[in-house]
Amino acid sequence: MFTYVTSPLNVPTIIEKDQGIFAKNFGEMGIETEYAELTSGADQTQALASGDVQVLYAVGATSVILSAANGADIKVLNMYSRSPKAFCMYSKDESLTTPESLKGKTIAGPTGTNLHELLVSYLAQADMTLDDVNYVNMSIPDAKAGLDGGSVDVALLAGATAYNAKQQGYHLVADGDGLISALIAVATTQKFYDEHPDVIEKLNVAQDEIASYMADNQDAAMETVAAALDLDVDAVKEMYGFYDFSTEITDADKEGFQKTADFMYESGMIENELDVNTLFIQ
């Protein structure tokens, strides 16, 4: 069973299901493909640990690190995406152009996420911390609603919500470019990897097929994604440019994982420092 997460712009996931790529490849092995629509990272890693799900197809680096830090058997098979520019801080106040200008401001967004890391990294450029602002833990839709209504000075937004803020003419304070890696991975357990090498090999073949379809049928892919997410095709095309869907694990990816792990340790989200080399299949 695979997790099925389409937001904020998980193009490979949408294309895979639309084209029946897993169903075809695993059907050849006599395996029925099932999906679990789990959007929370905590729910995803819990399902993997319990054995209800065998592959997390699009799980955030923060969720992988937290699960591993808590002693779970979780390993990164390959990468799903990187999209630092898709994670943004928006405001109605155009004077907010530096970390210092955020001092004392009310900033809303989800804790333990790429957006949380973006805010911390942005403030750190001026030797500031979350103690220098009024940070409120809030979902992306609620943060956007707070910004619309005026109860929030800065909203931490991603995906279509960030695109909508831009379309409304809101002021971009910063995006994640140069501040975070915004890593999403494909993960399984070491146990499943060791016991089912044939399934892992077939998964690699299927992922290559997904990538080929996306490259060879870009217009059709954009239309499929737009329909799945109820977005305008032009919006999908603009956001698609922010994403790198290469599955190869690079040194930069490992550095990004380490930076995120260090951020989580310093933020008190994990108790001990973590060497992220332990997260990858040995």
- 111-121 mean pLDDT: 87
pTM score: 0.86
Q: What are phi and psi of 7, to 5 degrees?
A: -95, 150
Q: How far apart are CA 19 and CA 37, in angstroms?
A: 18
Which one-letter DSSP state was computed for residue 157?
E
Quote helix, strand, coil % in the chain, to nearest 5.
Answer: 50, 15, 35
Q: How far apart are CA 124 and CA 24, in angstroms?
A: 48
What pLDDT does residue 110 have?
A: 87
Angle at 138 between CA 9 and CA 252, to 5 degrees: 45
Q: Which residues contact 141 (CB under 8 A, 6 or more apart)?
A: 161
Convert the pLDDT of each residue in 51-74 to its tens digit: 999 999 999 898 899 999 999 999
Convert the pLDDT of each residue in 27-48 to its tens digit: 988 998 888 887 777 788 889 9
Convert the pLDDT of each residue in 228-237 to its tens digit: 988 899 999 9
